[in-house]
Amino acid sequence: MNTIVTITIDGKQINAEEGSMLLWAALENDIYIPNLCAMKEKARPSASCRLCFVEVEGMCQPVTSCTQPVTEGMVVRTRSPQVDRLVQTAFELLLSDHLLGCSKCPKNKSCKLQRIAKERKLKLTPKRLEMLEKDYPVDDSTDVFVLDRNRCVLCGRCVWVDHHAALVGAIGFSMRGIKRKVSTFGDKLLVDSTCTQCGECVKVCPVGALSFKKNLEVSIK
């Protein structure tokens, strides 16, 4: 028996399951909150992309909506100077570490970064920050898809589906800090790993880091 509660987001009253996460309540009611790492199926949100900040009445600081359980009468604002500032900085930080050049990107026009930029009127080029140069070799060893770590935003969605939906475990995070990356065991090419090329990871990548090879895209889908 799940209790349904009423909450207010940006002045709009919506119903949601008590204890469910605010982010989903908003998204399912057509209220957009920027996000990259969130997955509804995850028992515990990783809360790592730091984009889904909102203001909740009674809380002094913005909170990430992917970790905020819904309670009766909750009053939420998805925009405020403080929230906008955090989202803008997080977005700019991510872009500074992301291979830009949308026109050449396989995810052009369906990229979540582009969506965030459009929704929040943010520039797709960092204005204050220098670009952090990374130069990973592109792994196109599999027949089905390409992994370009230069476009990866480390949201971890691919890793999660690989482990929990595809049940393969071919990829995970390695290294730490600025060197953190998605890799196979022993940092081998995907084709030399336990990857079954099922393509589940590609489907959840919000950016152009994982993309189907052109000729196969149609048949897989």
Partner 1 sequence: MSNINQGAEKIYTDLKSKAEEINSAREDKTIVMVGTATCGKAAGAIDVREAFIEEIKHKNINAEVVEVGCIGHCYAEPLIIISKPGFPSLSYGNVDEGLSRRLVEDFLIGDDPCYEFALAALDPNDEFPTFSDFPRGVFEEKVILEQCGLIDPEDIDQYIAVDGYHALVNALGKEPGDVVEMIKESNLRGRGGAGFSTGTKWEICRNAIGPVKYVICNADEGDPGAFMDRSILESNPHQVIEGLMISGYAVGASQGFIYVRSEYPQAVRRINTALKQAREKGLLGENILDTGFDFDIEVFLGSGAFVCGEETALINSMEGKTGMPRHRPPYPAVEGFRGKPSIINNVKTLSYVPHILRKGVDWFKGIGTPDSPGTAVFALVGKVENTGLVEVPMGTTLRTLVFDVGGGIRKEKEFKAVQIGGPSGGCLPESALDIPIDFDSLQEAGAVMGSGGLVVLDENDCMVEIARFFLDFTQKESCGKCTFCRLGTKHMLDILKRITIGQGEMEHIEILGELALDIKNGSLCGLGKTAPNPVLTTLRYFMDEYVEHIEGKRCPALMCQELINFYIVPKKCSKLCSACVGSCPVEAIFTRDDGLKAIDLDKCVKCNSCPAACPPEYDAIIKVSPPEVVEELEKENA
Amino acid at position 221, single letter: K
Q: Which helix (H) or strand (E) holds 4?
A: strand 4-9
Closest CA to 33 of 153, 119, 154, 156: 119
Residues in 112-141 that interact with partner 1 by CB under 8 A: 128-130, 132
Stretch that binds partner 1, among 22-30, 137-145, 169-177, 197-205 (CB under 8 A): 169-177
| Minimum distance from residue 205 beta carbon to partner 1 (Å) | 17
Residue with token string 């929040």: 120
| Minimum distance from residue 26 beta carbon to partner 1 (Å) | 18
| Minimum distance from residue 115 beta carbon to partner 1 (Å) | 17
| Minimum distance from residue 90 beta carbon to partner 1 (Å) | 5
Residues in 96-115 that interact with partner 1 by CB under 8 A: 96-97
Task: Kindly tell me which of 64 and 193 has the beta carbon lying closer to partner 1.
Answer: 64
DSSP, collapsed to helix, strand or coil, labels residue 182 as strand
Residues in 136-165 that interact with partner 1 by CB under 8 A: 154
Task: Kindly tell me which of 65 and 197 has the beta carbon lying closer to partner 1.
Answer: 65
Among 3, 58, 121, 178, binds partner 1 (CB under 8 A): 178
Size, binding site for partner 1 by CB under 8 A: 34
Q: What is the dihedral of CA 164, 168, 171, 173, to 10 degrees?
A: 40
Q: Where are the alpha helices (DSSP H) in the chain?
A: 22-27, 81-96, 112-120, 157-164, 200-204, 214-220
What is the residue-wise DSSP string for 148-167? Answer: -GGG-----HHHHHHHHTS-
How far is 141 from 144, CA to CA, in rounded Å? 9
Stretch that binds partner 1, among 101-109, 174-182, 187-195, 212-220 (CB under 8 A): 174-182
Q: Does 24 bind partner 1 (CB under 8 A)?
A: no
Asked if 5 contacts 73 with a C-beta cutoff of 8 angstroms, the reply is yes
Q: Does 189 bind partner 1 (CB under 8 A)?
A: no
Task: Kindly tell me which of 47 and 144 has the beta carbon lying closer to partner 1.
Answer: 47
Closest CA to 40 of 15, 55, 23: 23
Q: Does 50 bind partner 1 (CB under 8 A)?
A: yes
Asked if 52 contacts 34 with a C-beta cutoff of 8 angstroms, the reply is yes
Residues in contact with partner 1 by CB under 8 A are 44-51, 53, 61-62, 64, 67, 82, 85-86, 89-90, 93-94, 96-97, 128-130, 132, 154, 173, 175-180
